[in-house]
Structure 1
Amino acid sequence: MSRLSRRSFLVTGVTGLAAARLGAPATPAASARQPRSDPFTLGVASGDPSPGGFVIWTRLAPQPLAEDGLGGMPDLPFPVQWQVYADVAGRRLVRRGTAVADRQWGHSVHVEIDGLDPGREYWYRFRAGPYLSPVGRARTAPHPLALGTGLTMAFVSCAQYEHGHFTAYRRLAEDEPDLVLHLGDYQYEYARDTYTIPGGNVRDHEGPETETLANYRQRHAQYKTDPDLRAAHAAAPWLVVWDDHELDNNWADEVPERPEVPQPGFLARRAAAFRAYYENMPLRRTSVPQGIDTQLYRRVHWGTLATFHMLDTRQYRDDQGCGDGYRDCPAATDPARSITGEAQERWLLDGFRRSRARWDVIGQQVFFAQRDSDEGPAKITSQDAWDGYVASRRRITQGWVDAGVRNLVVLTGDVHAHWAADLKLDYDDPTTPTVGSELVTTSVTTGGDGADSDPRTQPFLRINPHLRFYNNQRGYVLTRFEPDLLTADFTVLPQVRQGGAQAHVKATFVVEDRVPGVRQTYLRPVAPAASRMPMEPEADLIREVIDLETNRP
């Protein structure tokens, strides 16, 4: 399919036209149970691609903000037909079937598609009675032995509905990625006006602070009523992991944010949050919650080009050693403490040893590299990040070094700002070798508009020479994985208080094959040689990689 027709599908009204071409809806007699109004208000999504398929998702909710969390659906199971097509026009039907949406799982539908061709695009939609869903675009992963020519992947984090409009999701969809990683804080738990920004919040949460299953279902539904978020879900398959706000700020395993306050219902709250998260995300049955537990860490292969190790740094961590903020904390270096838990750590280290990928990518939640905030001898670091679990970070870093991982890249969210960093075994000695790279995405909206910033004035970069870049605007990171190069465009929006802002690339960093660490690129004008025809003005540029330590190409 041409770029023009794909782009039209993603960002214009062609979606409805495509759906109309996919076949006539079922007649009212086709099912005795039918929604009384359009149940597809929350859109569609796909996720967890494999070489043979992916998950497709929807949730029936004709009244998405209903206080009982059931979206206006009666206590009845409803048949939902699904179709997968090999073309956007809907002429090549390749899979079809019927799933049942029932009250037990919030009338959500998770269909695991298999038997498709590797490395190509597909389109899908659902039907419930006479109602057709929007059309979504998915794609399969490449053949397990295929290196391929490249992967375009975007990653995002931290979308507080009250703090701004989700324009970043819309711009992400327009970039036409092959894959999207959401690294946590998909939704926030607060009641309205609890978490406010200067100038006042832009929008309001419905309902109280989320504590019950009905609360979490309603909150997830409210977020998905945003058309920009629905567009991003429909544009590409997602790999999702949670951070803290999907349950409770700064929670750790079975410990709530404020453990000093008796909260006998916290484990029930955790079970409700996990259940609602599964109901509202394109996850496989391996992630169906079992009480207070959900298997969310998993591994997705993109041929031999990239392996994504998706981590859960909340469910198994030891509680923060000295509180959640910046501290000089002796517990941070305790070798017995872990942010991943023992089983997940073994799984990750085993994945490093088995990997044959060109790029090994860790998708996770909180800042990985050291961020010391004190210019003196003290080490003042965030205890909610990997700095609060120094031995855990050291074991994992040593693990990929010992395994001979070819290129290790950590992707991070949580901190509401763009960052780029070199990863080391010893952050206190800047002369030690760089052994990996970290790319951190800013928030979609959390914190409000933010502000443009000069990295040269950022104290963290002065104190920590392995930190290479900082920007405090909202946005996302768009990456391009190729066999010999990873390119990361730190994309920003001028503001999120009003919807519809245009995005631009604030900075581009690259990681070269077998050269750990991030390097910034610049566009430099080049004068055309007298011996050749003048180039077009926009072509009189070359991209030049600058070493940030020497400031030389």
Structure 2
Amino acid sequence: MSQSPSTLPRRHFLALGGIAAGASILAAEPASATSAVSNDRVTLPGYAFTLGVASGDPAPDGVVLWTRLAPDPLALDGLGGMPDRAVDVRWEVAEDERFRRVVRRGVQRATARWGHSVHAEVHGLRPDRGYWYRFRVGDQVSPVGRTRTAPRPGTSLKSLTFAFASCQAYTDGYFTAFEHMAREDLDLVVHLGDYIYEGGGAGSIGRPHLPAVETFSLTDYRIRYAQYKLDPALRAAHAAAPWVVAPDDHDVENNWAGDHSQPDTEPDQDPAVFRLRRAAAYQAYYENLPLRASSMPRGPEMQVYRRLRFGDLLQLDVLDTRRFRDQQLTDPSLRWDPNRQMLGAKQEAWLLAGLRASTARWNVLGNQIFAMEADHTDGAPETFGMDTWDGYAAARQRLFEGVAARRVENFVIITGDAHRSVAADLKLDFADPGSRTVGTEFLGTSISSGGNGTDMDPLGVTWLAENPHMRFHNSQRGYQLCHLGRGEMRTDYRVVPFVNAPGAPVATRASVYVQSGRPGVAHVSD
């Protein structure tokens, strides 16, 4: 994205993260609703901003700013040590890191009903510009976050850089990858799900889940999010750039589909009971992430899929691949059933209409589970996973044929979930290597899930041998950097050698290139 005078190198920004504690605060506008506990009169039992700050869903004129008040974040009642009353929280946005040029300020009411979370939707900012923000309650000041607005739609851009990530099991490894991500010079971070893991257990690195049992209630999910967000690397990555987020399965329960619970610990769970669990999970997800009011859940329903535009360079369509899908098959021979849905008819139509109308150079789908075909068996017979798009092959075919029929240029899918990295050509007919390529998929590895990983494992060997459309594979931990230009897109697979201890370095394992106007992987540099 084009640079503005307010842009600082990321390492400079991180060094300034704590300066707000002693900075003066300008007077905030009064809250518009009936009075709660006044900002000036509130007294809390400890520091309120233990879970950090974040921003998200950038628009040309603003962003949503997030924090959650939690002086005792792991309190067993899930209320974070807050009193059961509303508290007014001041926020302000400035053009400089020392807040000498404050351009917007306001008050947001944090209520016990929503876990004392704050989602301040800021408007009136300049497009394509970096800003700093912070919050205040009483005499306490939050850490400083840095964010950036989107360019106006249609504005000509030379470049844009975003990272994408997923799958951060607290019990499997340290979040070192986020520590490195926070130092990158990013316009955006896209998180594709499994922000938390719902299971209990202590894992293998001495970081047990809290609560120690599987999460079911709102209290359970709130405590689990608080535990994850106490991680300093995760907080740093949130504070460094705006995020766009979407949940996957573990944010609710492993491999859930629509109103169906996974048949594991509760094989006969009534869908009505599962909807109660999903309502709790969705509420905790919203409470702990920088989402707009349009994504505020209503019971077991939540608006996840949405579209963001960045000048004339990027249209980002964020998908919901859990809520509207049919249940996973037990008979793989039915995976081509034309009636089976992954996105649901309404979301599928929304997506294809938006792709047809797009004027962006790059059309990117933020997708939770991989879309490419992946035969898991050496030789015959072929075997496929039923939770991925392979279990919904007819729905995938409709999508790819729709992309081809609408002549969608530079179609790219970014994906999480699989705890491994793959760059692949997306084919109209995966059985025919000579079939038309309609786009490219970048499957990204996990932050920590799965433990240390290796450069290559047996499944990776099989995948590359059995699936000629796969052009690169790695199974280490890390994140992905996507550099968009007018002539090409480059994805750098950034990996750490271990996650079972803190302090791992980061390196680029490979860079994968896509040329504008030529779908599929152009070449891999490793």
The alignment's TM-score, normalised by the length of structure 1, stands at 0.89
| Partner residue, 2:234 | 229
Alpha carbons 1:455, 1:469 under 8 Å: kept: no
Q: In 2, distance between residues paired with 1:313 and 1:320?
A: 12
Selected match of 2:485 from 462, 482, 485: 482
Shift of 1:519: 3.0
Cα distance change, pair 245–29 in 1 and its aligned pair in 2 (3 A) = closer
Structure 1 equivalent of residue 318 of structure 2: 310
Aligned partner of residue 307 in structure 1, secondary structure: strand
Q: Which amino acid aligns with 1:40?
A: F
Residue 204 (structure 1) aligns with = 208
| Alignment CA distance shift 1:281-1:205 (3 Å) | same
Out of 249, 252, 257, which is 2:257 matched to?
Answer: 252
CA change 1:163–1:30 in 2 (3 A) is closer
Shift of 1:517: 0.7
Q: Distance in 1 between matches of 2:263 and 2:193?
A: 21
Given the superposition, is the C-alpha separation of residues 457 and 330 from structure 1 closer, same or farther in structure 2, using an over 3 Å criterion? closer
Pair 1:76–1:30, CA change in 2 (3 A) = closer
Q: 1:296 aligns with which of 287, 304, 323?
A: 304
Any idea what the Cα deviations from partners look like across 1:286-332, whole Å, max 9, x if unmatched? 1111111001100000111000000010011000011xxxxx71121
Q: In the alignment, which residue of structure 2 is the partner of 1:166?
A: 175
Distance in 2 between residues matched to 1:145 and 1:100, nearest whole Å: 35
Percent identical residues: 47
Q: Paired residue for 1:177?
A: 186
> In structure 1, what residue type is equivalent to 2:22?
A
For the residues of structure 1 that align with 2:476 and 2:353, how far apart are their CA atoms? Answer: 37
Per the alignment, in what secondary structure is the counterpart of residue 225 of structure 2? helix
Aligned partners of 1:456, 1:520: CA distance in 2, in Å? 22
Q: Which residue of 1 aligns with 2:32?
A: none
Q: Could you give the per-residue CA deviations for residues 428-454 of structure 1, whole angstroms, max 9, x where no partner exists? A: 000112110000110000011111228
Residue 272 of structure 2 corresponds to residue 263 of structure 1: no
Aligned residue number for residue 548 of structure 1: none
CA distance in 1, matches of 2:391, 2:459: 26
Confirm whether residue 33 of structure 1 aligns to residue 39 of structure 2. Answer: no
CA 1:443–1:456 in 2, change beyond 3 Å: closer, same or farther? closer
Q: How far off is 1:143 after superposition?
A: 1.3
Cα pair 2:306 2:317 within 8 Å, conserved? yes
Change (3 A) 1:521 1:468: closer
**Please, which runs of 5 or more residues in structure 1 have no aligned partner?**
323-327, 524-553
Report which of the two structures shows the higher radius of gyration computed on alpha carbons: 1
With over 3 angstroms needed to count, the CA separation of the structure-2 counterparts of 1:433 and 1:100, relative to structure 1, is: same
For normalisation by structure 2, the TM-score amounts to 0.94
Flag the 1:456–1:102 CA change in 2: closer, same or farther, 3 A: closer
- Quick check: 1:415 aligned with 2:424? no
Within 2, Cα distance between the matches of 1:442 and 1:303? 28
Q: Which amino acid aligns with 1:185?
A: D
Task: Spell out the pairing of 1:101-116 with structure 2 (5 A cutoff).
Answer: 101-116=110-125
The correspondence of residues 109-508 of structure 1 with structure 2, limited to 5 A, is 109-193=118-202, 196=203, 200-207=204-211, 208-258=213-263, 261-264=267-270, 265-322=273-330, 329-453=332-456, 458-508=461-511
Instruction: Check whether the contact 1:332–1:387 (CA below 8 A) recurs between aligned residues.
Output: yes
Q: Is the 8 A contact 2:38 2:87 kept in 1?
A: no
Alignment deviations for residues 91-118 of structure 1 (CA, whole Å, 9 cap, x no partner): 1111001011010000000011111111
Q: What residue in structure 2 maps to residue 15 of structure 1?
A: 17
Offset at residue 347 of structure 1 (A): 0.6
How far did 1:34 drift?
A: 2.9
Q: Determine the C-alpha separation between the residues in 1 that align with 2:279 and 2:223.
A: 16
Give the conservation status (yes or no) of the 8 Å contact 1:374–1:380: yes
Evaluate the alpha carbon distance shift between residue 243 and residue 111 of structure 1 in structure 2; reply closer, same or farther with a 3 A threshold: same
Name the CA shift for 1:135/1:22 in 2 (closer, same or farther; >3 Å): farther
Residues 119-150 of structure 1: CA distance to partner in whole angstroms, max 9, x if unpaired? 11011000010100001111110011212111
CA pair 80-352 structure 1, distance change in 2 beyond 3 A = same
Distance in 2, Cα, partners of 1:521 & 1:440: 14
Secondary structure of the structure 1 residue equivalent to 2:18: helix
| CA drift at 1:29 | 8.8
CA distance in 1, matches of 2:136, 2:439: 46
- Relative to structure 1, the CA distance from residue 456 to residue 75 in structure 2 (aligned partners, 3 Å threshold; closer, same or farther) is closer
* Counterpart residue identity of residue 391, structure 1: A
- Between the aligned partners of 1:39 and 1:289, the Cα distance in structure 2 is 25
Structure 2 counterpart of 1:531 = none
2: CA distance, partners of 1:455 / 1:22: 58
Q: What value does the CA root-mean-square deviation take over the aligned residues?
A: 2.0
Moved more, 472-481 or 256-265: 256-265
1:73 aligns with 2:82: yes
Q: Distance in 2 between matches of 1:514 and 1:350?
A: 20
> Following the alignment from structure 1 to structure 2, what is the Cα–Cα distance between the partners of residues 289 and 241?
13
Shift of 1:25: 9.4
Q: Displacement, 1:36? A: 2.7
2:445–2:475 Cα contact (<8 Å) kept: yes
Alpha-carbon shift at residue 89 of structure 1 (Å): 2.2
For this pair of structures, how many residues does the alignment match?
511
- Change in 2 beyond 3 A, CA 1:30/1:512: closer
d(CA) in 2 for partners of 1:308, 1:432: 26
Give me the whole-angstrom Cα distance separating, in 1, the residues matched to 2:435 and 2:269: 46
Deviations, residues 241-293 of structure 1 (Å, cap 9, x unaligned): 11100000000011011177222432211110011111111011111111110
